[in-house]
Amino acid sequence: MTTAPRTPQIQSKLPKVGTTIFTVMSALAAEKNAVNLGQGFPDFACDALLVDAVDQAMREGLNQYPPMAGVPALREAVGAKIEALHGKRYSAADEITITAGATQAILTAILAIVRPGDEVIVLEPCYDSYIPNIELAGGTAVRVPLVPHSFRPDFDKIAAAITPRTRAILVNSPHNPSATIWSAEDMRKLEELLAPTDVFLISDEVYEHMVYDGRAHESAARFPGLAARAFVVSSFGKTYHVTGWKVGVVAAPAALTAEFRKVHQFNVFTVNTPVQHGLARYMAEPQRYLALPSFYQAKRDLFRAGLARTRFELLPSEGSFFQCVDISAVSDLPEAAFCQWLTTEIGVAAIPLSAFYADGFDQRVVRFCYAKEDATLRTALDRLARL
């Protein structure tokens, strides 16, 4: 007698994780033929010269495993860039590692430092991978809200959340989803707060080149008391309009990098070789990232000018490629229901801010992404003009 094959049941390590609002909204946008301003990535092509550089690397035969920490030329290019912009020298050999996107960099940093029972402070609203990453490492996420609506850090609340069990704090500036940036004063306050502690900083700076109105990006690399304890994370995908390539980077002091690389080595080992060579060659021209603020600021201004003709209340967009609006004057619906209505009835998809809070906190704010062709933005604005 044969018995049915048996599939063992998995006791989920992430029981709360299900289909995200991003997937739901994108599917609904496609079904309704809506303009998708929900997804946080460009709808335009990257520079053909970047594709050529990768193509050339492939044709040169650069197609086998690169060194575990990444192609040296790319690590050196990143080190030179950080030094030029922020005055901090990281050693390409010992302090810079190329990762499979910022997402893997953040997970790897967390796995390297967080042990069961540790607490990690996250500032909500936050990028959706942070809390599951902490939980996978056996840690507890301690959620501290940014001030609702202004999304400014509340340092009293952050200070109150630090305990002897706090292993790390995750900070993200320019910020997804709120589009706010941290000032030098904010960074100094964080530096002061962490100075007497052994708390690590994971500084998610994937939108580092998208800071507007002449302001500077205040990288953790600029603040010695932060840099000494920080994993500074960025993403080539965001900077060069190639989010699908999934290449990121982490800069951290040698002792932190050594532990990071132990996890990285047995996680992905290393990252796509020709893409790394292509990026290294493309980065030789700094104007390619230095031009990003004016490129995106023009899109921001176009989008905001159109939104200003609606009844939405526009929140500031100081950095990143997001624009948040308060929907109170337009609708009584909760954020998520409003986004579904907007997609179905108006033909524009947005993301509710509640998706970035573990408890679904609803403050009547939704997020649009303006990393889109001007024509896409104009089509969306024509539709939104009805509101």
Ligand X SMILES: Cc1ncc(COP(=O)(O)O)c(C=O)c1O
Which residues of the chain form contacts with ligand X (CB under 6 A)? 40, 101-103, 127, 172, 176, 204, 206, 235, 237, 243, 246, 248
Q: Which is nearer to ligand X, 169 or 381 (CB)?
A: 169
Q: Which is nearer to ligand X, 365 or 381 (CB)?
A: 365
> At closest approach, how far in Å is the CB of 65 from ligand X?
21
Q: Which is nearer to ligand X, 107 or 330 (CB)?
A: 107
Q: Which is nearer to ligand X, 124 or 204 (CB)?
A: 204
> At closest approach, how far in Å is the CB of 205 from ligand X?
9
Q: Which is nearer to ligand X, 133 or 166 (CB)?
A: 133
Helix axes 374-384, 292-307, angle to 10 degrees: 20
| Interacting residues of 156 by C-beta distance below 8 A, sequence separation 6+ | none
**CB-CB neighbours of 30 under 10 Å:** 12
Q: Which is nearer to ligand X, 248 or 319 (CB)?
A: 248
Q: Which is nearer to ligand X, 95 or 204 (CB)?
A: 204
**Tokens read off for 309:** 């003709």
> At closest approach, how far in Å is the CB of 251 from ligand X?
15
Tell me the residue nearest to ligand X as measured from the CB.
101
Q: Which is nearer to ligand X, 246 or 281 (CB)?
A: 246
CA distance 110 to 120: 9
Residue 122 pairs in a beta bridge with 143, 170
If 0-12 CB within 10 Å is exposed, 13-18 middle and 19+ buried, where does residue 18 land? exposed
> At closest approach, how far in Å is the CB of 371 from ligand X?
10
> At closest approach, how far in Å is the CB of 211 from ligand X?
14
Q: Which is nearer to ligand X, 330 or 366 (CB)?
A: 366
> At closest approach, how far in Å is the CB of 176 from ligand X?
4
> At closest approach, how far in Å is the CB of 123 from ligand X?
11
Q: Which is nearer to ligand X, 98 or 199 (CB)?
A: 98
CA distance 136 to 126: 17
